[in-house]
A and B are shown apart, each in its own frame.
Chain A
Amino acid sequence: MFFRVIAKDRLPDLVRGLSTEFEVVGPVAKGEKFVLAPIEDPASLRLDYDTTVLPPKKWFFPPEETIMRFRVADNEVVDDEVYAPPRVLFGLHPCDVNSLLLMDNVFFGKYVDPYYRARRENTLIVGVSCTPSDTCFCNAWGTDETHWGFDIFLSDIGDSYFASIRSVKGAELVDRHVESRDITDEDTRLFQERTAAFKAAFSNDVDTSQLPLLLDAKFDSPIWEAFGEKCLACGACSMVCPTCYCFDVHDELEADQQHGRRVRTWDSCQFKEFAAVAHGQNFRDTRASRVKYRYYHKQWGYLSKFERVLCVGCGRCARACKANINPVRVVEALQTGVVD
């Protein structure tokens, strides 16, 4: 890693420069909220955003994706190309950069997902520092920092960005497209000062110590019934979650019934149909068992395999869940034994 300083008023040069080589995607306003969308004009880029409704996963693993087209008559695949244009995701917060590393564990496992891989390999990541919102709790998991998983990371130090450059490609792009200078001791001091202020700004201070042990001990706790009564089983939490990776696959025929496409869509373990299997069985047919499963998967199952929890504390689920169920509330309920 090496470091440069980029003056804030020069940043549009970088965005414009990148646009000549890549599709640049970044946070833009949508009403009162923000979404990650293609940036036509650097002025529409809102690096002061709190969070986006959908996480960056949608640019690697879209909500609905045609994975192949086929011909019915002879059962032949006629098209299984993956469309993966060269792209830059510009302005991801540390939680979201970390979320992609957690997704990689799954999609780059023993069976590599070619659709995810094609996009991941063709996408550069430019991170940006943030200010915690009232739903953020990345501090609880240590995902408030990121040391890899990006090409360039821009930390706000006042009038400039302290740019951490992780990849050769990132270095080339900074060189090519924007004026920058070497860091000084004063820049490093400012960087540390900003980092300390950021860490102090979290309003959530949930204690996650011994969480897997707590989960083991509370498997039969009444809190799961209580959460089950609240849960709307709407699946919004999984859709907005940067680390939920479950999907469904189905075939659809065109109107003429001669051609079809195989489609994959995001799925959620909160849907009753999720665990329905042949013969009408459903091994998680109550909402309580499904909410419980969500947390055991994220905070126990994934952890046992990859030594990280499957959550980056982005707080999107806390915003999306109308029933007020979220990891902070679940951890607190595990500790107190009650759901208030």
Chain B
Amino acid sequence: MAPRVVVVSLASDFGCQVQLTNMEDDLLDVLGLMDLTYWQLASSGHMPDAYDVAIIEGAVTTTEHVELLKDVRSKAAAVVAIGTCAVTGGIPALANTAGLETRYATVYGGGVAVAPGRIAPAPIDSIIDVDYHVPGCPIDTAEFLRGLSRVLQGLSDHMPDQMMCASCKVSENACFLEVGTVCLGLVTRAGCKAKCPSLGRPCTGCRGIAPDANLASAREVFARYGCDPASLASSLLVYNTAAEVTA
């Protein structure tokens, strides 16, 4: 029987789900492999009670999200986190940089009843066990397909642990640091083939800090190349607030 799949979204801008619809070339093949029982973005159905695979986008920002995740975990055999919001807390987690309530008051004014049950934004795996991760803001469709293949074949999760610079060199890019431009590739998780540097833009770290990153040395590198060493931590905040950047 084809696995029953649900696509669930928490706090995000739906960008990763839009990426799923963008993989036109492979969409029919992919849909042929599964019984897609619920996808809020693409249909008006309701979340079923039983399913095998839950693909989750977005950060956890409310107590309702927490309950939903626990429910999903109790039902799904495999939980897949897609996008940096889900994997590191991503951009939604920025709400917590100046204290959650202060931030809400600044944005919405005092006393307005927005986001009831709000909590400090967090990645999904701070609440439940996550079996597969596909980072990226937004996700890369080829990487999603590779991840999905691992889910369907029952293989283990496989996020690359190393940094971006090796793939950047493979693309024969000139290094941004050499011209004093802040690039986060040297501490950011590889796996996108250094897409931004190859398109002429520095890496903004959208895939999160790589577990093998050497942040202390990266600060010294910044200083040597004329980039403010403090900008390493501040630039990394954009996608890693919830991860505690100790650079």
Chain A residues engaging chain B, CB cutoff 8 angstroms: 30-33, 35, 52-54, 63-64, 229-236, 238-240, 252-257, 266, 268, 271-273, 287, 320, 322-324
Contact = CB atoms under 8 A, between A and B. Distances in A.
Contact of A229 (B153, B175, B217): B217
Contacts of B225: 322
A239 B162 contact: no
B29 A271 contact: no
A324 B224 contact: yes
Closest 9 CB pairs of A and B: A255-B26, A234-B165, A235-B166, A255-B29, A256-B29, A53-B172, A239-B169, A236-B165, A63-B170
B233 interface: no
A260 to B, nearest CB: 9
Contact of B163 (A230, A234, A252): A234
Given A231-B217, A233-B214, A31 B162 contact: no
27 contacts: A30-B172, A31-B174, A53-B172, A53-B173, A64-B170, A230-B214, A230-B220, A232-B163, A232-B221, A234-B165, A234-B166, A235-B162, A236-B168, A239-B170, A253-B149, A255-B149, A256-B29, A256-B32, A257-B33, A257-B149, A266-B166, A266-B170, A272-B212, A320-B169, A322-B177, A323-B217, A323-B221
Nearest to B145: A255
Interface in B161-220: 161-166, 168-170, 172-175, 177, 186-187, 212-214, 216-218, 220
Nearest to A266: B170
B162 A233 contact: yes
Given A234-B163, A239-B166, A252 B146 contact: yes
Which interface residue of B152, B165, B186, B224 has the most chain A CB atoms within 10 A? B165
A233 B163 contact: yes
Contacts of A253: 149, 153
Interface residues of B, number: 37
A322 B225 CA distance: 9
Nearest to B193: A64
Contact of A254 (B29, B213, B216, B220): B29
A231 B166 contact: no
B68 interface: no
Given A230-B220, A231-B214, A233-B213, 11 more contacts: A30-B172, A33-B174, A229-B217, A231-B217, A235-B162, A252-B146, A256-B33, A266-B166, A273-B161, A320-B169, A323-B220
Contact of A54 (B149, B170, B218, B220): B170
B30 interface: yes
